Amino acid sequence: MKKVSIILSHLANQPQFKFLKQESCNKKYISLLSAKWQKAIAFIYIRDNTLFIAVTHPGFKMELNYNKSLLISILKQLSSYDKSCKKMSADSVVVFHSKYRSIVKEKKKEQTVPYYSELASENFEIKSDDSDLREKFKEIKKSIKEQLTL
């Protein structure tokens, strides 16, 4: 019986699925960058020996433009150390702003409504001669009783 990894590697070696290898190399390249840059990059691709980097915010564009030589050197190191990414090579870098979000997924904070159990009890005495005050206390007893049944 064949393992799933063998089947997937066989499929990835097919000519019609060559973009899968390229995409995995792109993700490896992004993972080599710092965490701040990983969040800043939406996607990358290489065309005509040019590395195109799409960023999620225009502020990151300026920062990555200052570090083009570093980006190219990391790409060259990746292609020299990883045999599957040998075809990744670029002479220049173009950084542009994109409306798409980053590949790195941030964990969403779950918003929950806190539910508290009722701490009061409806067992209290009403010692007042005022009828309005007695009615208010009876309403309070009723609402406490409803809260305890929920």
Task: Give which of 6, 132, 26, 18 is closest to 71, Cα–Cα.
Answer: 26
CA distance 121 to 141: 8
As given in the structure block, the two tokens for residue 9 are 């590697």
Task: Give which of 141, 132, 60, 123 is closest to 95, Cα–Cα.
Answer: 60
The pLDDT, as a whole number, for residue 92 is: 93
The pLDDT, as a whole number, for residue 124 is: 79
Q: 50-55 and 92-97 as β-strands: parallel, antiparallel, unpaired?
A: parallel
As given in the structure block, the two tokens for residue 64 are 């990555």
pTM, full prediction: 0.60
Radius of gyration, alpha carbons of the chain: 31
Query: What is the full per-residue pLDDT of the chain (150 aa) written as tens digits?
Result: 778 888 887 887 888 887 777 888 899 999 999 999 998 999 999 999 999 999 988 889 999 999 999 999 999 999 999 888 888 889 999 999 987 765 556 666 666 666 666 677 778 788 888 889 889 888 888 888 887 776
CA distance 73 to 26: 15
The pLDDT, as a whole number, for residue 72 is: 94
The DSSP H or E segment spanning 45 is: strand 41-47
The pLDDT, as a whole number, for residue 105 is: 61
